[in-house]
Structures are given as C-alpha cells and as structure tokens.
Amino acid sequence: MKEDMRLDATSNLPLREVVFLRLRQAILQGDLQPGERLMEIQLADQLGVSRTPVREAIRKLELEGLVSMKPRRGAEVASITIKDMQDVLEVRGSLEELAVELCCAKDDDSWIEELKKANKVFEAAVRSDELLIIADADVRFHDIIYKATGNKRLIQIINNLREQIYRYRLEYIKNDQARNELIEEHERIIGFISKKDRDGAKKAMRQHIANQEKDIAGAIQRHEG
C-alpha cells in the first residue's frame, strides 16, 4: 500500500465521507490491493483521523462490495473473482440492453449529438493514458444513454451497481487494445440507436459487455496463475 493517504483538507464534506472516498479511491486505483487487510489503527494514523470515521468507511465499502469481512482476519479488500465479475456484468448487460432498446423507441433524437460528443471525449481520454480519466469518460458515455431512457427505476438500479461496475471497468481499460476497441464499439452503438435499430443496438451492447467479461476473466486467471 502506498504511504501517501493524506486527505483533502479543503473538502467541505463530513470527515466520514472524506475518509470513505479516499479509501474507495485507494481500492479502485489499486493502492489497496485485493486481499489486503484494512487495519483501522494503521489507516487512521495514515489518514490523520480517529478510528471512528475509518470504521464507518469500511462498513460502507463492505455494503458496496469493495470490502469483505473474513473470520479471524477482519476487513480486507474484496478479491476480484470471475464469478463476482460475471454476476455484476450479467445484470449490467441486461440493463444496458434494455436502455438502448428504450432509447431506440424515443422520438426525441436531440440527445444523440451529446452521446457523439461524449465518445469524442472518451477518445481523447484514451490518448491521455490516464486510467481514471478514461474510466470516468466511459461512465459519462453510458450515463447519457441511461438518462435518455427517461426510466427512473433503471437509472436507480444502475446507480446501485455503480461502484462494482466501476471496479471492473477499471480492470478492463488497463488493456491498451481494449481501450481503442471501446471507441469503435461506442460508435456502433451510436449508429444503431441513431437508426432506431433496436435489435442491432441490443446486439452491439451485448457484444460490448461480453468483450469486457472475456478480457477481465482472462486477466483474473493470469493473476491467479
């Protein structure tokens, strides 16, 4: 684990939320590795806070699936397993297919231009080679699709999975080739939605998620091996 875990002293958020966001970032970026124990005293010392906000943050991270509690070991960063990944992406895939289907049924196409611009931003992010920037640009692309559905329940369910999806998204974009393929996949999705081709859009989205599942599974297997 990296030693620099200092908090942003300028934040207006409650301390417990600042601690949570810092630990979350450390997990997602890999500063805290899967299987690494989360020692409250050690983390509190590194962050310069008491144990209470650290304990609260760990509980919240457990609810999001980023931390797991192990007998006789306590809290540790949750491992990335193929089964967990498949479970998350299976749900995400179904919601994404529903989202593009709903979008194809819309009469209003004004939002599609925003989607095209988002993919240009994503393309620029890929050239930056900064993982978090790339991941956030990808999130923005998909968020535009969710919003365009006008289905509040779909958006709510997706938001509940956001952190777990984000973790696997980061794993995927570590692959240089995958990043460039994502640009093309986004373009295909935009094309089918623009033509209001529901079947084509759903198939393109299905392949989009399947490619991620295959690549991440391979990365997990190589890590375990």
What's the pTM value of the predicted model, to 2 decimals? 0.81
Residue type, 82: I
67 with 118, same domain? no
Residue type, 27: I
Q: Give the model confidence (pLDDT) of 183-211 as tens digits.
A: 999 999 999 999 999 999 999 999 999 99
Q: How confident is the model at residue 34 (pLDDT cuts 50, 70, 90)?
A: confident
204 with 98, same domain? yes
97 with 70, same domain? no
- Contact assessment for residue 141 and residue 96, using Cβ atoms and an 8 Å cutoff: no
Q: Give the model confidence (pLDDT) of 130-189 as tens digits.
A: 888 999 999 999 999 999 999 999 999 999 888 888 888 888 888 888 888 999 999 999
Q: Is residue 122 part of a domain?
A: yes
Q: End of a domain among 62, 77, 92?
A: 77
105 with 59, same domain? no
* Rounded Cα gap, residues 207 and 163, in angstroms: 22
Say which DSSP state 77 is in: E
In DSSP terms, which residues pair with 70 in a beta bridge?
74
Q: Is residue 9 part of a domain?
A: no
Q: Count structural domains, the chain.
A: 2
Of 54, 198, 185, the residue nearest 123 (C-alpha): 185
Range of the domain at 119: 82-224
114 with 161, same domain? yes
59 with 92, same domain? no
CATH, residue 37: 1.10.10.10
Of 76, 85, 7, the residue nearest 35 (C-alpha): 76
CATH, residue 185: 1.20.120.530
68 three-class SS: strand
202 with 171, same domain? yes
37 with 111, same domain? no
